Amino acid sequence: MSDIFLFNKPFQVMSQFTDNDGRANLSDYIRIPKIYPAGRLDYDSEGLMILTGDGELQHQISHPRHKLAKTYWVQVDGEIDQNAIDSLKNGVQLNDGPTLPATAEKINEPDMLWPRTPPVRFRANIPTSWLSLTISEGRNRQVRRMTAAVGFPTLRLIRAQIGDWSIDNLAPGEHRTLSLGPEFIRYKSNKNNKPSINRRKPKAHTRRKYSP
């Protein structure tokens, strides 16, 4: 049996346990020894991170070869149009090559959205809009570069889901522990390098919160 830890990373928190520049980091919220992030999330992004003490599982969740889908809620500058949505779906050209096709749709502001500190800037003459974007790559600042490439710069970025795991019922700074049985936790790549997962329900879970 292995545990994973789902953490809702607040804005402007480093996705590591130490920082030489004194910025807020994971140790300000999580006091569990010998667990490590399975992938990172930018300092200026929010939302779901997965941590585990299982090195193999950490690799399988974070390695791009397994193409684990990640869904983001993205607030962009301007009223995004269908042409931009279609471009994101088909893949856009970035300076390090074209992106893979994505799942993209315009959405209303998410119901469970929390206030951000500091808030996103407001300009009365320029609207903002929201989209849901699901990608299976992990390039540096990829979502921000994708929306900029179609003419709608990202203002706020929240990772809502990784694979089957989401930030549902997790406030910023909270984490939830899932105890997973061996029949659940192993991602296996088939010959097309696509992940498969046994979708049995986790055996148990608890919820913890640390307030610094």
Single-letter code of the amino acid located at 166: S
Single-letter code of the amino acid located at 111: D
Single-letter code of the amino acid located at 52: T
Catalytic positions, written as ranges:
42
- The Cβ of residue 101 has, within 10 Å, a number of other Cβ atoms equal to 13
CA distance 16 to 30: 11
116 closest CA partner among 157, 87, 160, 63 = 157
Q: Quick one: tokens of 135?
A: 């990608």
* Cβ atoms 129, 109 nearer than 8 A: no
The residues pairing with 134 across neighbouring beta strands, listed in sequence order, are 71, 103
Q: How far apart are the first and last CA of the chain?
A: 30
- The Cβ of residue 92 has, within 10 Å, a number of other Cβ atoms equal to 18
- Three-state DSSP class for residue 125: coil
